[in-house]
Structure 1
Amino acid sequence: MKISILCVGRIKEKYWNDAIDEYSKRLSRYCKLEICQVADEKTPDKAPEALENQIKAKEGARLMAKMDPAALKVALAIDGKKLDSPGLAAGIEKAGLSGISHIQFIIGGSLGLSEEVLRASDKRLSFSDMTFPHQMMRVILLEQIYRAYKITSGEPYHK
């Protein structure tokens, strides 16, 4: 299975990059992992809604250019379906058993995802009603994908 994470912006903080590297290394025994970052747009403080929508559209167009039509596309969105860890594991396993060989998880920038990206996605997944920094969300997502593979492999994982 190939797992791609499409995300907006580069991570500058060493501690986030170290965590991403660690989970990427752990996942290498279970799947082929790809992290694809697209450029983010500068967002002024207190930007009007119209400008925020333009920014999301520009970032969204960059994400759409990286989306694989054959992949299962899962947008991370606050209004998405909430799953527990075994539920995510079952979803990844079910996708593989149904012949899907590529899953793309899509993380927006600080303003979230454009409507175009949300419409082009096959599923929406929410980790919480809370908002997390998009840099942190990459680490949380990688940890949960790793945990999903541990669960489906019947290996112990920390509860």
Structure 2
Amino acid sequence: MNSKIIVVGKLKEKYLKQGIAEYAKRLSKFCNFEIVEVPDEKAPEKLSTAQMQQVKQIEGERILAKIKEREYVFALAIKGKELSSEEFAAEFEKLTTYGHSALTFVIGGSLGLSPAVLKRADAQLSFGRFTLPHQLMRLVLTEQIYRAFMINAGSPYHK
């Protein structure tokens, strides 16, 4: 199985890199796991609506270029479906049972995801209505992917 997170921008914080690296190492016994970074589009602090749409479109094109046709795509979006860890694990189990061996998660840039990326997504996933830094979301998502595998393996990790 392949599990991939596509993110906009670079990760600078050492403590987040260390946490992600730890979960990535743990995930290696369950799947081929990778994080793919695409460049964020440089933009002024104050943007018009048209400029915001243009930035999202450019970042969206970069994201879509990293998604293969057969990948099942989860877009992280505030309006997405909220799942418990157990429901998330069950979703993983169901997808792999029905032949989806490549799961891809997309975390957009600071302005969010383009309509084209949301359209390409097979599902939209929300971690609640909190606004979280994109860099921190990488760590949270990586841990939840690991937790899903542990739940499905019947491990006490989840307790």
Letter in 2 for 1:35: I
Cα deviations by residue, 1:33-57 (Å, 9 ceiling, x for unpaired): 0111100012322211111111011
- The structure 1 segments of at least 4 consecutive aligned residues displaced by more than 3 Å after TM superposition are none
Q: Aligned partners of 2:43 and 2:121: how far apart in 1?
A: 24
Q: Aligned partners of 2:71 and 2:34: how far apart in 1?
A: 13
Return the offset for 1:158. 4.2
**Where in structure 2 are there 5+ consecutive unaligned residues?**
none
2:136 is aligned to 136
Matches within 5 A, 1:1-159: 1-159=1-159
SS in 1 for 2:75: strand
Q: TM-score, normalised by structure 1?
A: 0.97
| 8 Å Cα contact 2:151-2:158 kept in structure 1 | no
Q: Aligned partners of 2:110 and 2:32: how far apart in 1?
A: 27
Letter in 2 for 1:49: T
Letter in 2 for 1:43: A
Return the offset for 1:13. 1.1
**Where in structure 1 are there 5+ consecutive unaligned residues?**
none
Return the offset for 1:11. 0.3
SS in 2 for 1:140: helix
SS in 1 for 2:65: helix
SS in 2 for 1:75: strand
Cα deviations by residue, 1:81-102 (Å, 9 ceiling, x for unpaired): 0000000000011110001110
The percentage of counterpart residues that share the same residue type is 50
SS in 1 for 2:70: coil
Q: TM-score, normalised by structure 2?
A: 0.97
Letter in 1 for 2:23: Y
User: Matched residue pairs, number?
Assistant: 159
